[in-house]
Structure 1
Amino acid sequence: MKRYPSVPVNAHASDAVAGKHVHKKQFGQHFLHDPGLIRRIVQAIAPKPGERLVEIGPGEGAITLPLLREHGRLTVIELDRDLIPRIQAAARDIGELEVIHADVLTVDFTALAAGANLRLVGNLPYNISSPILFHCLDHAAAITDMHFMLQKEVVDRMAADPGSKVYGRLSVMLQLYCRVEPLLKVPPGAFNPPPKVDSAVVRLTPLPRERRHDADPALVERVVRHAFGQRRKTLSNALHGVANADQIRAAGIDPKERAEQLAPMDFVAIAKVVAEDA
């Protein structure tokens, strides 16, 4: 099992936090500071004793510290080394904080869970939010739920229904594995510095094993990616080289349909027919 070294608490951490943190654009840093919204987010997470909470990108601790007060123990994953002593100093007298200095895309959440499912929390960097979401999906079996702050446009896409203008690959892939629940809209002024877009908090709850599809995940992803790669084309054209018209019909779908008209499980049906014919 892969081990992630924890950053030891620096006995002189307070010396490292004397100055104001300079926000780093390369890390997509926008720190939440609205007390009312922070309280509502913590209430939505509703941590319970014995749960394993992991926060992605704690920043200056806007959500970290209230969660620690509620729960007493928290693991955080932070890439910006300059922020680590600041969050350690702020958390010292509040609860037990484990800090992992790493790029979240390199963290094996299944190994980190070690058999006890994780609850993930985070104000995700908007410039890499989709890769982080797909990375979490790879470890969905080790995750109880996820509460993420994201660009509102992304949350709209995640929760979109078939036929919507914003329904696409992200909608399908997330809804095949999770229940998607938009919770809160967050204005730019709730952050420092304020982003140029509205944000939203979303809850993702991985589906129980009995409700997950049993098709080849890589093949399903390939079908979805090609179907939405040229979304103005009919399925028979968009899926050329992946599934032919007869295979699409065998899945109970009209080849003249377009990807945005299909429900998530329709893509699974196509993948299953393709696998059977292989």
Structure 2
Amino acid sequence: MNQFPQHKARKRFGQNFLHDAGVIDHIIRSVAPREGDRMVEIGPGQGAITSGLLASGAQLDVVELDHDLHPILMGQFGFNERFRLHKGDALKFDFSQLAEDGRKLRVVGNLPYNISTPLMFHLLAQSHCIADMHFMLQKEVVQRLAATAGMNHYGRLGIMVQYHCAVEHLFDVGSGAFKPAPKVDSAIVRLTPHSTLPHPADDVKILENIVREAFNQRRKTLRNTLKPLLSAEQIEAEGLDPSIRPEQVDLAGFVRLANHLARQEHAAS
């Protein structure tokens, strides 16, 4: 295994560096990078996954915020003409600029918990140029992403990510695979943007609003939680029982409710 230069993990960046060679290999095999792929790694850290991605022959762009890691990464990989380092914040980064030749991007990242959700939605806003995404996240976040109606972890995050992507919970990673070891387990998830949305909403903002309202008080019934937006009769008109709870409604059901509200708002305008 590569011996990386010493760098103290920074709490403010949410850094936990992956060091387990078996886990690293499992991640690379799951991503399956190929020669000619346009890979993007977010937060490469000390390069644990970076070397495996480059070994495939792929073109690799990495985005790293911690300026102390820049010379470490350049020292290890700067000689490789297929490696490019972008210094900055992934939350503000325009990923579409990396797909200038028309090839879609394949994104990989070990994401800090504090930015994982906004970063995923930042990427989904640019999903037209993304083929797939593989992320290391807290295990509970991956469970939320992959949960379907009726499951314990089902809620806003999973519904809105599944609206845009197919979600696969690939495997779990114990805390001992990192230095320093986090207090929670992690998991690897694959997100594949839909080429055609299975349940297209007339207005995604209205869908987001419906889902937010529904889960603000998730123990209440649809009739009560959606009262500011839709009547019980309107909920029934879309084939849903107003007396059920939000976690019993699948993505297609929420889209039907959102489209009903969109039609209503359009008629009133």
> Is 1:189 matched with 2:176?
yes
SS in 2 for 1:179: strand
Q: What are the equivalent positions in structure 2 for 1:48-87 lying under 5 Å apart?
A: 48-87=34-73
Seen in structure 2, the aligned counterparts of structure 1 residues 236 and 112 have a Cα distance that, compared at 3 Å, is: farther
Could you tell me whether the CA contact under 8 Å between 1:122 and 1:149 is conserved in 2? yes
Point out where structure 2 has 5 or more consecutive residues left out of the alignment: none
CA distance in structure 1 between the aligned counterparts of 2:229 and 2:200, rounded to whole angstroms: 19
Aligned match for 1:145, one of 121, 132, 152: 132
Superposed CA offset, 1:207-246 (max 9, x none): 1125351421111111111111110111121113222222
SS in 2 for 1:211: coil
Residue in 1 that maps onto 2:111: 124
Aligned match for 2:28, one of 42, 64, 73: 42
Residue in 2 that maps onto 1:230: 217
Residue in 2 that maps onto 1:7: none
- Read off the aligned partner of 2:222 and give its amino acid letter: L
Could you tell me whether the CA contact under 8 Å between 1:65 and 1:94 is conserved in 2? no
CA distance in structure 2 between the aligned counterparts of 1:172 and 1:226, rounded to whole angstroms: 13
Residue in 1 that maps onto 2:165: 178
Superposed CA offset, 1:54-75 (max 9, x none): 0010000000111111124210
- Read off the aligned partner of 1:224 and give its amino acid letter: V
Superposed CA offset, 1:30-55 (max 9, x none): 01011111111111111122221100
Residue in 2 that maps onto 1:12: none
Residue in 1 that maps onto 2:198: 211
Residue in 1 that maps onto 2:245: 258
Could you tell me whether the CA contact under 8 Å between 1:188 and 1:197 is conserved in 2? yes
Point out where structure 1 has 5 or more consecutive residues left out of the alignment: 1-17
> Is 1:239 matched with 2:226?
yes
Could you tell me whether the CA contact under 8 Å between 2:36 and 2:59 is conserved in 1? no
Query: Normalising to structure 2: TM-score of the pair?
Result: 0.92
Moved more, 137-146 or 264-273: 137-146
- Read off the aligned partner of 2:17 and give its amino acid letter: F
Residue in 2 that maps onto 1:168: 155
Seen in structure 2, the aligned counterparts of structure 1 residues 27 and 162 have a Cα distance that, compared at 3 Å, is: same
* 1:19, distance to aligned residue in structure 2 (A): 6.4
- Read off the aligned partner of 1:23 and give its amino acid letter: A
Seen in structure 2, the aligned counterparts of structure 1 residues 72 and 134 have a Cα distance that, compared at 3 Å, is: closer
CA distance in structure 2 between the aligned counterparts of 1:217 and 1:256, rounded to whole angstroms: 25
CA distance in structure 2 between the aligned counterparts of 1:50 and 1:94, rounded to whole angstroms: 15
SS in 2 for 1:182: strand
The share of aligned pairs that are identical, in percent, is 49
Superposed CA offset, 1:187-223 (max 9, x none): 1110011100000111111111253514211111111
CA distance in structure 2 between the aligned counterparts of 1:248 and 1:66, rounded to whole angstroms: 51
CA distance in structure 1 between the aligned counterparts of 2:44 and 2:163, rounded to whole angstroms: 28
Query: Normalising to structure 1: TM-score of the pair?
Result: 0.89
* 1:91, distance to aligned residue in structure 2 (A): 1.0
Seen in structure 2, the aligned counterparts of structure 1 residues 95 and 183 have a Cα distance that, compared at 3 Å, is: farther
Could you tell me whether the CA contact under 8 Å between 2:54 and 2:82 is conserved in 1? yes
Could you tell me whether the CA contact under 8 Å between 1:57 and 1:122 is conserved in 2? yes
* 1:136, distance to aligned residue in structure 2 (A): 1.6
CA distance in structure 1 between the aligned counterparts of 2:89 and 2:52, rounded to whole angstroms: 24
